[in-house]
Structure 1
Amino acid sequence: MKILMLSIFAPHFFNWTKQLEDSGHEVYWLDVFDSNTKVRQIDFVEQITGWRYKWDFPGRYFLKSNAPGITRFINIFNERNFEKQLQKEIRRIRPDMVHSFVMYLTGVPALPVMQEFPRIKWAYTAWGSDMYYYRNQPKHLAGIKKTLPKIDYMFADCNRDYSIAKELGFKGKFLGVFPGGGGFDFSKMDTFIRETDKRNIILIKGYQGLHGKCIEVLKAIQIAEKHLKDYRLVVFGAAPEVFDFVKNSFLKEFGNLEIYGKLNHQDLMKLMGQALIYIGNSSSDGMPNTLLEAIVMGAFPIQSNPGGATAEILEHGKNGFLIEEPEDTKEISSLLLESLNNSELIEKAVCWNSLNIKPELERERVKERVLQAYKSIEKDL
């Protein structure tokens, strides 16, 4: 089967697509925003990059950063149209299926072209806030409602998004819930795992902004300060706002607080494998990939639960804690202290997750299910 993937430049997408290597499918990727970069990880894929600008003139990036108005004017003449490029590639490749990753980035923009080729099957993968947040944005909602009825197949990282998609007009075949980037390679991760009683890190996801609520977790840390002196408090992937918040609060006096920006995956897994507790907090998300990694690496998860997505794998008080109000610092502080004061709960939760959730996230097991899903599409051709 010939598959044309539509996605932005994203590690999740590359990890997912890697599952199709040696599958017998002929895979193409149109980089919708055109990073103009070839990705070695998916070198078996024909990567359509470098298409966006007619002339990649010297100094373009400098001009883009320092004179955006001039850049916008130049791009009126210099930038190729995505719809025309997609139309061109469909006519050249003649795919059996087009697969869009994220509705508002590659689904809605592709709709006018896909309507020209009604015989081509169309699949869609929902990630993160794709359905949950953007259904409440009127401009996005109109496009979502027009697009979903035209899509034949859907993948998602949680059942919540399938329910939302059905409400908004999806009538196709749901192919199942999968981790956004496919499964995890335990052979590369298990070596970093420590026994629970040898862990002393409270690991915090540092996202902040439209959805991320790390600062609320840090405020909860302030409330619980006197109970946390024996732990390493580690924030990873910290946004600039998080660094600024710490700099301007008494958290800067904490000798046991460490803040990191972007970490490579191996360093993050080392921290996960040493973490007693992992905290992820956001007002909108799907099934967080870092939550799944924390479970795989044996940390006790405390995670926000927008729209009930996290509750699909975490039962509050059994194998983790759910944050129901991501801006309620007292709730977060209370959950943190409750977990620290109940070592038996942590032990039982980590054991339960290792026996019941972790095996289902193993890369080869997920890959087998993914390939079966694509095979079911092929049978419909």
Structure 2
Amino acid sequence: MPTTRTHAPQIAIVGAGPGGLTCARVLQRHGIDVTVYDRDASADARNQGGTLDLHADSGQIALREAGLLDDFHALARPEGQAQRMLTRHGEVLVDYRPTSDEDAAPEIDRGQLRTLLADSLAPGTLRWGHTLTSATPGPAGTHRLTFDHGVTRDVDLVIGADGAWSRVRPLVSDATPVYTGVTFLEARYDEVDTAHPAVAELVGDGNVFATGDHKGLIGQRNSNQHVRAYIALKDDADWYRAAGIDLDDTDAVRAALLRAFTGWDERLLVLITDNDGPYVNRPLFVLPAPHTWPHTPGVTLLGDAAHLMAPLGGYGANFAMLDGCELALALARHDTHDEAVTVYERTMMSRAAAVGDGAEALAGVFGPGDRDRSDVPDFAEAKERYRQGAAAYRSR
């Protein structure tokens, strides 16, 4: 039941990603008003990226509290949990296939998840087309938010769910993301089963990873016959400038990548040669862990704004959603939002610190030489860990 308050705080969430939307949904289920601001013009104004595996012990717990777990399972792809790992020479190190009832970490497209969460909110909650330009402290822990078209809003609590380059973060911390030394070039393949059968066979129903010699080729199956690949290079974030390459020149980028991957198995190189459209350069940044800050009245962070991690283990979106869920529940259960935020931050910071930023693990995956079977994670053990973690969480 909602907590009775003499004054209902004005709450604003900046950022309509999985964490911010989850927070808003759980708040509304507990009768708490909230407004979400995002710079995108709509939920589908831009491509949301690839696929996410939502873990039973984090992302799925958040969806249960949001009342959306059944809707998620209706959209999710349990078969997407398949994992193949290969050497750069094409040797298969592991070919993990989930059982038909495996539900520890099913996959869902980012765009589908965003739409599911956004559509669950009350009309008028989402304010699209609002880019935050400044957040200024006011009296008694309030903050004034100013957006790019001159709109201002005074709020009692601002929640920064605005990602790696958060405009809210400077209110509590001077930390900024640092480059990991690894860049992903994203590529896409449409109508993959008919137009790109070699890619479809390589990737299968889930994900394929091939790494070695400071490089990697990663393919992931999305819904509706789409595949995304991430071509990993351990190099400068702007490596293409040093090479005199225009990223819009797809042929030049492809030629440079093929030179970098000389000696790799030809069956793997289809992830470089067969893409539809241009490559997108995505250098990987992290917030060095542990990222903590002194409690600051009237403001807090969640997700990448609080703990930006390397994309290994799938913690980013899962932790963001659990952050949003736990913050909303704390706000519903405590008499003041200041008490709620204090309790939330203690738990969130501890959880993120235990995992770390992933930079060291990333350096190991894309290190020198070749991988072997000793480098292969135990995927079945990971699924069991998610299940046990979920049971432990629910029994607290």
Q: TM-score, normalised by structure 2?
A: 0.29
**Greater helix share, structure number:** 1
Q: Which has the higher contact order (CA 8 A, sep 6+)?
A: 2
Q: TM-score, normalised by structure 1?
A: 0.29
**Greater strand share, structure number:** 2
